[in-house]
Amino acid sequence: MKFLADLHTHTVASGHAYSTVYENAAAAAERGLKIMAITDHGPALPGGAHEYHFWNMRILPKEISGVRILPGVEANIVNAKGELDLDNDSLSQLDVVLVGLHPLCGYEPGSVKENTDVLIRAMSNPNVHILAHPGNPWFPIDPDRIVEAAGRYNVLLEINNSSFVKSRPGGEEMTREVARAAFESGLDIILGSDAHLASLVGGFEQAAKEAAAIGFGADRIVNTDPDRVLKFLRSKRETA
Ligand SMILES: [Zn+2]
Ligand SMILES: [Zn+2]
């Protein structure tokens, strides 16, 4: 399987990532990617980028080294209402909006029901494209309800390569459960590298292996096809 888009990458602007836009883009080009989104952490995460960072992304070139660059964010959930750390005006200016649960951002881990409810409320925001790393050991969720809501709100579920490598030890099984539930219900998925270093951009090996083991072929993994990625992103903005 060949992956041509990575919609989840971080730069030095995230505070705990170590490469620049140009370093990431060069790495993406080397891996043969056609599309790379820059999705630094939103302002609520300690060390995350300031609101001005996202506002100013309009100065980024549309393309670097032949790779289409999409301005984006990995937004945080700041309360039990599922509100995000950028307002809808700012979010609607960005091409790719991921939402993920992280501790210390306002919403702290609750029960399975509370965590699931807050994610569903966040997914109901029409500016949100992708639910990042749903398999997070600190925030247990109900995979079936998450998959149902993703289908209802046209939000892609991400199978996050880092969840299987280093970032979220203990998250592997929850990630598999979400992927299995998505597979069973006919929902397509996207793989994300969640790279915090240029050499990890476009790295999907582990997530790809897991997705294939569940039964996902290229036709059901959106980031194998750049046109499909762009079509999906547009489908959200038309409804936003
Ligand atoms: Zn991070
Ligand atoms: Zn991330």
pLDDT of residue 164: 82
Look up residue 202 and give its amino acid: G
Diameter of the chain measured on Cα atoms: 45
pLDDT of residue 101: 95
196 alpha carbon to ligand 1 midpoint, in Å? 7
168 alpha carbon to ligand 1 midpoint, in Å? 11
Q: Encode the chain (240 residues) as per-residue pLDDT tens digits.
A: 999 999 999 999 999 999 999 999 999 999 999 999 999 999 999 999 999 999 999 999 999 999 999 999 999 999 999 999 999 999 999 999 999 999 999 999 999 999 999 999 999 999 999 999 998 889 999 999 999 999 999 999 999 998 887 666 677 888 999 999 999 999 999 999 999 999 999 999 999 999 999 999 999 999 999 999 999 999 988 765
Q: What is the CATH number of the domain that holds 17?
A: 3.20.20.140
**Encoded tokens for 235:** 């489908």
- Domain that residue 82 falls in: 5-239
pLDDT of residue 239: 63
Report the alpha-carbon distance of residue 7 to residue 219 in Å, rounded: 18
pLDDT of residue 168: 63
167 alpha carbon to ligand 1 midpoint, in Å? 9
The structure's pTM equals 0.96
119 alpha carbon to ligand 2 midpoint, in Å? 16
User: Into how many domains does the chain fold?
Assistant: 1
List alpha helices for 9-106, DSSP H. Answer: 21-31, 51-55, 88-92
Look up residue 230 and give its amino acid: L
Report the alpha-carbon distance of residue 100 to residue 96 in Å, rounded: 13
